[in-house]
Structure 1
Amino acid sequence: MDNSSAKQWDNDHFLHPWEGMEALGKNNRTFVESASGIHVVNEKGERLIDGPGGMWCTQIGYGREEMAEAMADQARSLAYFSPFNNTNSTAVRFAREIAKRAPGDLNNVFFTTGGSTAVDTAIRFVHFRNNLMGRPEKKKIISRQKAYHGSTYLAASVSGKERDRLWLDKADDLAHFLPDVNPLYRAPGQSEESFLTEKISDLENAIVALGPENVAAFIAEPVLASGGVIVPPNEYHEGCLKICKKYDVLYISDEVVTGFGRLGHWFSSEAVFGIQPDIITCAKGMTSGYAPMGAAIISDRLIADVAGKDATFSNGYTYSGHPVSAAAGLKSIEIIEREKLLEHVRMVAPVFQDQLQQLRQIGIVADVRGMGLMGCVQCSVDGDPRSELGHDYEIGGQIDIECQKRGLLVRPVINMCVLSPPLIISENEIIKMFSVLREGLEATSTWLGGFGDQ
């Protein structure tokens, strides 16, 4: 295909997610045309390290022949079944494997098409349960500033990223948002212990103010991913779960990003943060990005409250439990276990986080933070995280440009770039990735006017 024609068709016909209207029809996007391992290849034939791992999802890396074969074999035998009145052994086996790895009594897997529909399903189930229990007023969902839970109407309504909420309607009566949990912005002189107490109190105060009889659930990402890899203070989730139990508020853990190995465990809620939520939502790493799929995993306790009732949970999708996606998920689990990728993540994560911290030396870097194989570099013209955004809007895009010149894709988010490479990345590749990122940051610093190393 002629590249100039493809670029024109991209502008003429492909309306992209988060499309900026000011640049509509004038974009010059990178074409990712092939990939292998941790690298993608652009339309010029250049290999680039995939720093964001697609969209937090390419756990086992690209180009896995056995994944392609598993999906093709399934498509040959059965490409689709209707999940409304029938079932399928591949989907059933995948549900069983997920339930075996989920914490506690989270044994009921409702398959969806992705993370947004997983969150929608979780919220709809919470409302459904309360309706059947004679509590139709108990519907409010508490979320947090900087949280991201998806793009469908309900999921977007409980998302707290300010700039995602400017122009689209949302269910304003559904959600209540707690203040930012980023320890970077605690009051001057405030201890981490005091900040932790304040953040847990934020939740309790909100429940009391709204009325426990009106609050259905608290939804939280273990690590706020798209909001900038914000790691709440230690014991935050444990404290919030105690508050939820005190007021009969359900706890939804959104593990769309952190599930399936990103922090070195199948799920991080219990293994990393010490909690057993009532519902876990997941997607992305479920199939390592090879096919779309998501799930809401619901506890036996909640299912028992609705079992036997004369009611239908009228929520579902044409592609729930899609057999080709389920085959991809089963094969991805097999590869992760065979190659001990969870153990590998736990082994290389300290190298990743150490390399991330070393970027603090660069003058435009205002903060770095992360956990496992997740990281964020937050920049500012003067290196101060509290500065007002000015040229900072341009920083993420320029870092992306400079890094691509040097062989690295990053994901720019205004004045931040986030990293979540494939879980197969080696120590040497981690060091190489951060070396290129450093060069890109330094070049951006020069571009901004010489805010070089401190």
Structure 2
Amino acid sequence: MYDENSNAALQQSARDHLWMHFTRMSSYDAADVPVIVRGEGAYVWDAQGRKYLDALGGLFVSQLGHGRTDLAEAAAKQAAELAFFPLWSYAHPTAIELAEKIAGHAPGDLNRVFFTSGGGEAVESAWKLAKNYFKITGKPMKHKVISRAIAYHGTTHGALSITGLPGLKQQFEPLVPSTFRVPNTNIYRAPVHGDDPEAFGRWAADQIAVAIENEGPDTVAAVFLEPVQNAGGCFPPPPGYFQRVREICDEYDVLLVSDEVICAYGRLGHMFGAERYGYQPDIITSAKGITSGYAPLGAMIASDRLYEPFAHGTETFLHGYTFGGHPVSTAVALKNFEIFENEKINEGVLEREGAFRGTLEKLLDLPIVGDVRGDGFFYGIELVKDKTTKETFDEAESERLLRGFLSKALYDAGLYCRADDRGDPVVQLSPPLICDQSHFDEIEQKLRAVLTEAAGLL
């Protein structure tokens, strides 16, 4: 029940003490901080009782939706038995069971599971493992990393160094050296082969070989790629892209890291995005949907080959996190996997993804909508000034459009999603995997109303 006095106190406390993440805090100088207090299924409610469709899945996280008592009960049961113990030279049952479960789903020989607290830590772990592995196998110069332009890989110093978004990095320089960028797979703005996806994919993949040659193959350790690139607005891989990347990595003895912090655990209709697109990584990084958000957890999944040097003698991977593989989090993840299997979550995504795409593509009749792209339950809608020329917005226009209008208008319309301009301006959608046509229609209708109004303001 909404209580005006208690909400006023909560607002004041938020202004006085809470520093929110990736948030322009001055936005709330003359406006209330949105306070979400409850969730059920695909919806959340704020402190004033207003209802919102969670069309972003929290932050690409809430695979099974909100209010699942079975997941909450799994957490409570484990907390009563063993609330905490670290995985430093000791183990506990749920971590062991979950590692086996993940390895059983991971492609190929990715059988070694290193737990973290979240996605950024999984990326850090992957880079450290790559460097450590090559040092102890006679290739100590291999330490550099290649990633894609506009790609986001995390906020810790190593993960941020791999990230391809200058605007997120410059205020924290100097970062970890030796990371390099190649073109991404945004065919909507392809500099070459824009009318031939296969040729474009080959060209984009070959730029990785060019970068390796430019830096020297004996110095490059890994390539970090998302199955569907998040930042910039959901860039799926062109046909043959990852197969060519795998060939390049094999040729130069470079590790292929599939960063699946968003794309794993059903987001694309498979447990892992690499499975959807038919390629074999050396490492997968994952988090988010592993627990459907009911507890924090991440995992780096490595091949037997990478584990082998640490399996004998005195070699140790001198790396870890206090809360990596937390007993409660791993218990929740096990229950999450059980629900995926019993309720056929991945199968449901594959059955309904065409309907989701088709519903969103209705928005292409709007003058402001240039492109609708993505796969599974993971989509970006790119906004443009001119559909014919694909002219985008300048920085000031993007500021007015996204922060000055869209973010608030979408929220006021009862739709929680993301208006983002880390690349060209986009609206991102990543709803819970339980959503059906009624939710797709609601998303389309609310977006249509807000985007129509936005177009009228331009």
TM bucket normalised to smaller: over 0.9
Aligned to 2:199: 194
Aligned twin of 2:245: 240
Contact 1:262 1:373 in 2 (8 A): yes
How do residues 365-380 of structure 1 correspond to structure 2 at under 5 angstroms?
Answer: 365-380=369-384
1:206 pairs with 2:211: yes
- The within-5 A match list for 1:356-395 is 356-383=360-387, 385-389=390-394, 390-395=396-401
Q: 1:339 to 1:202 in 2, by over 3 A?
A: same
Q: Can you list the C-alpha shifts for 1:17-60, whole angstroms capped at 9, x where unaligned?
A: 11336647566332111000000001210111001000001011
Q: Which residue pairs with 2:409 in the alignment?
A: 402
Identity %: 36
| Equivalent residue in structure 1 for 2:273, among 268, 272, 281 | 268
Q: Deviations over 1:410-436 (max 9, x none)?
A: 112132210000000012221222111
> In the alignment, which residue of structure 1 is the partner of 2:262?
257
Secondary structure of residue in 2 paired with 1:217: strand
Tell me the TM-score normalised to structure 2 length. 0.94
- Which of 159, 165, 171 is matched with 1:161 structurally? 165
* Residue 438 of structure 2 is aligned to residue 433 of structure 1: no
Map Cα deviations across residues 96-117 of structure 1 (whole Å, 9 max, x no partner).
1111111111010000000000
Q: Deviations over 1:384-404 (max 9, x none)?
A: 544342312232332232222
Indicate if the aligned counterparts of 2:309 and 2:315 stay in contact, CA closer than 8 A. Answer: no
The structure 1 residue matched to 2:292, chosen from 284, 288, 293, is: 288
**Cα shift readout 1:281-308 (whole Å, capped 9, x = no counterpart):** 0000000001100000000111123331
Question: Are 2:234 and 1:224 aligned?
Answer: no
Counterpart for residue 455 of structure 2:
445
Tell me the SS of whatever aligns to 1:208: helix
Take 1:304 and 1:319, find their aligned partners in 2: how far apart are those partners?
25
Alignment check: 8 A CA contact 2:402 2:419 kept? yes
Say what the alpha-carbon RMSD is for the aligned residues: 1.7
TM-score for the superposition, normalised by structure 1 = 0.94
Aligned position for 1:452: none
The whole-number CA distance in structure 2 between the counterparts of 1:104 and 1:189 is: 32
Q: 1:81 aligns with which of 77, 85, 106?
A: 85
Say yes or no: does 1:149 pair with 2:165.
no
- Kindly indicate whether the alpha-carbon contact (under 8 Å) linking 1:378 and 1:385 is maintained by their aligned counterparts in 2: no
Q: Could you tell me which of 116, 120, 127 is aligned with 1:116?
A: 120
The answer (yes or no) to whether the contact 2:161–2:177 under 8 Å persists in 1 is no
Relative distance call for 1:173 and 1:386 in structure 2 (3 A) is: farther
Change (3 A) 1:135 1:55: same
Contact 1:402–1:443 under 8 Å retained in 2: no
Paired AA for residue 95 in structure 1: A
Q: Which moved more, 1:32-41 or 1:388-397?
A: 388-397
Gaps of 5+ in 2: none
Shift of 1:356: 1.6
Q: CA deviation at 1:230?
A: 1.3
- Distance (whole Å) between structure 1 residues aligned to residue 192 and residue 254 of structure 2: 33
Assess, with a 3 A threshold, how the Cα gap between structure 1 residues 308 and 36 changes in structure 2: closer, same or farther. same
Output the CA distance in 2 between the equivalents of 1:256 and 1:301. 22
Structure 1: how far apart are the matches of 2:449 and 2:112?
A: 47
Give the superposition deviation at 1:357: 1.4
What residue identity is the alignment partner of 1:295? A
Contact 2:291 2:329 in 1 (8 A): yes
**Is the 1:281–1:295 Cα contact (8 Å) retained in structure 2?**
yes
The total of aligned residue pairs comes to 447
State how far apart, in whole Å, the 2-side matches of 1:284 and 1:224 are. Answer: 16
Distance of 1:28 and 1:115 partners within structure 2: 30
- Higher mean displacement: 213-222 or 356-365: 356-365
State the match for 1:66 in structure 2. 70
1:133 aligns with 2:137: yes
Q: Give the corresponding residue for 1:321.
A: 325
Alignment partner of 2:7 out of 3, 22, 27: 3
- Give, as a single letter, the amino acid of the residue that structure 2 aligns with 1:394: R
